[in-house]
């Protein structure tokens, strides 16, 4: 019986993961998100991800997969200048959707967070 419960639990995990948005981020040395990318990450809702401590001039962000569980909310990407998504180091919050967007930013971003608002 225990193995059945374990298998059932494992089978439901992908469904739960798909209900939260996963945001793809890439930071660029140059304005207008011109290649090459110097840092990249995927960030799931309600998590904080530290990225490489490299100065950038622009970044891209888009919803790679999933969606907010509450259909009346949309995902946003919070960008921070300190590790651990410290509230006092919030640089910018941007709305994201399935279309890759370019944002200008003359800064060194160190952590990223995603939230449905």
Q: Which residues contact 59 (CB under 8 A, 6 or more apart)?
A: 25, 26, 27, 28, 33, 79, 102, 103, 105, 109
pLDDT at position 19 is 67
Q: Rounded to an integer, what distance in angstroms lies between the CA atom of residue 77 and that of residue 81?
A: 13
pLDDT at position 65 is 96
**Residue 3 backbone dihedrals phi, psi, to 5 degrees:** -65, -35
Q: Is the confidence at residue 95, as pLDDT, over 80?
A: yes
- 28 CB neighbour count, 10 Å cutoff: 22
Q: Is the confidence at residue 2, as pLDDT, over 60?
A: no
Query: Which residue's structure tokens are 């259909």?
Result: 71
Task: Say which residue, 11 or 46, is predicted with more confidence.
Answer: 46
Q: Is the confidence at residue 30, as pLDDT, over 60?
A: yes
What's the CATH class of domain 20-116? Answer: mainly beta
């Amino acid at each position: 019986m225990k193995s059945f419960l374990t298998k059932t639990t494992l089978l439901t995990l992908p469904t739960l993961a798909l209900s939260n948005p996963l945001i793809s981020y890439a930071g660029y040395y140059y304005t207008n998100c011109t290649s090459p990318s110097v840092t990249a990450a995927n960030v799931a809702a309600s998590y904080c991800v530290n990225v490489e401590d490299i100065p950038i001039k622009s970044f891209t962000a888009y919803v790679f997969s999933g969606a907010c569980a509450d259909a009346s909310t949309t995902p946003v990407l919070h960008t921070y200048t300190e590790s651990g998504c410290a509230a006092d180091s919030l640089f910018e919050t941007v709305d994201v959707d399935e279309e890759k967007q370019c944002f200008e930013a003359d800064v060194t971003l160190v952590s990223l967070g995603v939230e449905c608002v």
